[in-house]
């Protein structure tokens, strides 16, 4: 018998209480790791040399949730103008979506350096993400108006793994997320950011 899908936690973000005794032992090593990473970046004259492959890798992994089937190596080869016969039209479409993801990330970083993060920045990034690829006719930059779900291809909502927030609650959920993003609600920045990452399960677009 299939397990019931996990439902988005509407009304439960941000959480009222956290299990700090469980989190505290993890915070020290995590901060130490980030400090080492920051030290490494500070010693590199052009940090983009190091960050560019990491951003591409993140784009490849994040795009898989949308069903893309392309590797980081294939993306780089296609971007460089490679024309092997094994690169089908589907493979090139997948690579284009990954490259759009990467290209949308760069201006977002610049915007956040100039002004607080906002839903406007998020929507602008989505518009760039959908430029010239599959889904470009589905209101890029606009929040979805229908219920969606995550699961095996062709599954029904009852067979889904995860059911995101309902469209009628989406704007309120995003308002809560944006407000928490700019707050100092948690005493530790890493915990704050991780909660934001978890809450991104809204699947807003």
Kindly indicate the confidence band of residue 198, based on its pLDDT and cuts at 50, 70 and 90: confident
* Per-residue pLDDT, 52: 79
Question: Are 148 and 166 contained in the same domain?
Answer: yes
DSSP string of 97-132? HHHHHHHHHHHHHHHHHHS---HHHHHHHHHHHTTT
Q: State mean pLDDT over 40-58.
A: 82
Question: Is residue 28 scored above 90 in pLDDT?
Answer: yes
Question: Are 51 and 134 contained in the same domain?
Answer: yes
Question: Are 74 and 125 contained in the same domain?
Answer: yes
CB 151 within 8 A of CB 161: yes
Angstrom distance (rounded) from CA 204 to CA 165: 8
Angstrom distance (rounded) from CA 94 to CA 74: 10
Identify whether 24 is part of a domain: no
Identify whether 37 is part of a domain: no
Kindly indicate the confidence band of residue 83, based on its pLDDT and cuts at 50, 70 and 90: low
84, burial (CB in 10 Å: exposed 0-12, middle 13-18, buried 19+): exposed
Taking all residues of the chain, what is their mean pLDDT, rounded to a whole number? 85
Question: Is residue 121 scored above 80 in pLDDT?
Answer: yes
Kindly indicate the confidence band of residue 10, based on its pLDDT and cuts at 50, 70 and 90: confident
Structural domain boundaries enclosing 155: 1-16+143-205
Identify whether 165 is part of a domain: yes
Identify whether 170 is part of a domain: yes
Question: Are 50 and 136 contained in the same domain?
Answer: yes
Q: Please give the residue that has the higher pLDDT: either 50 or 20.
A: 20
Identify whether 95 is part of a domain: yes
Identify whether 189 is part of a domain: yes
In degrees, rounded to 5, the angle at the alpha carbon of residue 196 between the alpha carbons of residues 180 and 163 is 110
Angstrom distance (rounded) from CA 203 to CA 61: 16
């Amino acid at each position: 018998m299939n397990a019931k899908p996990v439902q988005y936690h509407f009304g439960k973000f941000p959480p009222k209480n956290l299990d700090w005794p469980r989190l505290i032992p993890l915070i020290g090593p995590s901060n130490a790791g980030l400090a080492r990473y920051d030290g490494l970046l500070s010693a590199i004259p052009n940090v983009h040399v190091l960050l560019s492959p990491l951003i591409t890798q993140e784009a490849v992994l994040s795009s898989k949730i949308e069903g893309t089937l392309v590797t980081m190596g294939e993306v780089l080869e296609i971007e460089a103008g490679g024309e092997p016969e094994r690169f089908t039209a589907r493979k090139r479409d997948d690579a284009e979506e990954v490259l759009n993801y990467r290209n949308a990330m760069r201006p977002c970083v610049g915007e956040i350096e100039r002004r607080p993060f906002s839903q406007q920045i998020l929507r602008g990034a989505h518009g760039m993400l959908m430029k010239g690829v599959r889904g470009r006719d589905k209101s890029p930059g606009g929040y979805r108006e229908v219920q969606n779900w995550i699961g095996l291809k062709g599954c029904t909502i009852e067979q889904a793994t995860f059911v995101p927030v309902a469209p009628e609650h989406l704007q309120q959920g995003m308002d809560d997320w944006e407000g928490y993003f700019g707050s100092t609600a948690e005493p530790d920045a890493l915990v704050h950011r991780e909660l934001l990452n978890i809450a991104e399960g809204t699947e807003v677009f």
